[in-house]
Amino acid sequence: MKDFLSGQQRREEFLLAELRDLRTSVSVGNPFPQSDSDSQPDQPTPESRHYAEPQMPQYQCGEDIENYLLRFERIAKTWRWPEREWTCRLVPLLSGKALEAYTAMDEERAHCYRDLREALLTKFDISPETYRQQYRSMVVPSEESTIETYHRLKGLYRRWIQPEQHTKEDIAEAIILEQMRRILPPEVRTWVKEHEPTDCLAAAKLALQYINARRGGPPASSTTFTSHPAHQPRQRHTAVTVNGQQVTALLDTGSFMSLVKQRLVPIGAMDYSRQTDMLCSQG
């Protein structure tokens, strides 16, 4: 019995010794050492962060299409959307007149954002001339700061002149052309504007043609002219009736159209579906 107990004790001591050796070896040669990165939570990097894309509001009928496109383009550039995706992102937001402009586009060019933008501006009758008029007649709201006014003026100027698409000579011609039209008499200015000259020399030739035609003289080869003709053309008057009102009309057989004051033909009273015979005061 004593031999059995002593043998059992030796086995227990042997097992305890092996267990201590095993614990020591595990603590010294840990196959999965704890690194500094394991002891700290993961820190997000700028590339790993996820942001929800901004929700561009739907275009509302009557809204300023220029400002809407400007907001859309700024968001697209900020979020670095590829320009080839701009059209598919913008079209679902359009409605009314803007959506009609997209529907009427050439199918082969409907995917191009630049063509879509041009179609929208054309549909809403917005052109460089529109920006020029806004630039010259801009009114500063009382709550607007001078910095905001500067940025607004700069934006109108860039849309009017488009410096990234024109040379310095082109820009100079645009400014000279504007001044040329400003100093012309009103009737000559209207004639020149209707023909949309692309440079100042073409505008000068158009103005000279108009002046010579009304003066009755032969066309001159020189492009030099004065904005105040030396004589006044013969003026004849006659009484005409416009919308039931007796008015005095100026007869000028050198003209190809009759100009009527807006107060005599209100916009809301115009009916394009009904045709009426009329006596033209131009003879």
Least confidently predicted of 35-44, 166-175, 254-263, 265-274:
35-44
Is residue 278 pLDDT above 90, yes or no? no
Residues 152 and 131 occupy one common structural domain: yes
Give the chain's domain count: 3
Q: Which helix (H) or strand (E) holds 232?
A: none
Residues 191 and 211 occupy one common structural domain: yes
Q: What is the dihedral sign for C-alpha 143, 74, 152, 147?
A: positive
* Confidence category of residue 131, pLDDT binned at 50, 70, 90: confident
In a domain, 270, yes or no: no
Residues 144 and 115 occupy one common structural domain: no
Residues 159 and 173 occupy one common structural domain: no
Q: Which domain holds residue 133?
A: 127-165
Least confidently predicted of 31-35, 207-211, 257-261:
31-35
pLDDT of residue 230: 44
Residue-wise DSSP of 204-219: HHHHHHHHHHHHTPPP
Least confidently predicted of 97-111, 146-160, 233-247:
233-247
In a domain, 257, yes or no: no
Bridge partners of 250, per DSSP, are 237
* Higher per-residue confidence, 88 vs 198: 88
Single residue among 179, 205, 225 that ends a domain in this structure: 225
In a domain, 113, yes or no: yes
Is residue 87 pLDDT above 90, yes or no? yes
In a domain, 74, yes or no: yes
Read off the pLDDT of residues 167-187 as tens digits, 9 standing for 90 and up. 999 999 989 998 998 899 999
* Confidence category of residue 93, pLDDT binned at 50, 70, 90: very high
Task: Give the whole-angstrom CA distance, residue 163 versus residue 155.
Answer: 11
Residue environment code for 2-33, b if the CB has 16+ CB neighbours within 10 A, otherwise e: eeeeeeeeeeeeeeeeeeeeeeeeeeeeeeee
Residues 151 and 172 occupy one common structural domain: no
Contact 123, 97 (CB under 8 A): yes
Residues 69 and 121 occupy one common structural domain: yes
In a domain, 32, yes or no: no
In a domain, 8, yes or no: no
In a domain, 15, yes or no: no
pLDDT of residue 54: 84
Share of the chain above pLDDT 70, in %: 65
Residues 185-191, mean pLDDT to the nearest whole number: 90
Residues 160 and 196 occupy one common structural domain: no
Residues 64-77, mean pLDDT to the nearest whole number: 93
Task: Give the whole-angstrom CA distance, residue 70 versus residue 56.
Answer: 12
Q: Looking at the chain, list the stretches that DSSP marks H as alpha helix, in order from N- to C-terminal side.
A: 2-28, 36-39, 65-78, 86-90, 96-103, 113-123, 128-136, 146-161, 168-183, 186-195, 200-215
In a domain, 114, yes or no: yes
pLDDT of residue 76: 94
Task: Give the whole-angstrom CA distance, residue 159 versus residue 132.
Answer: 8
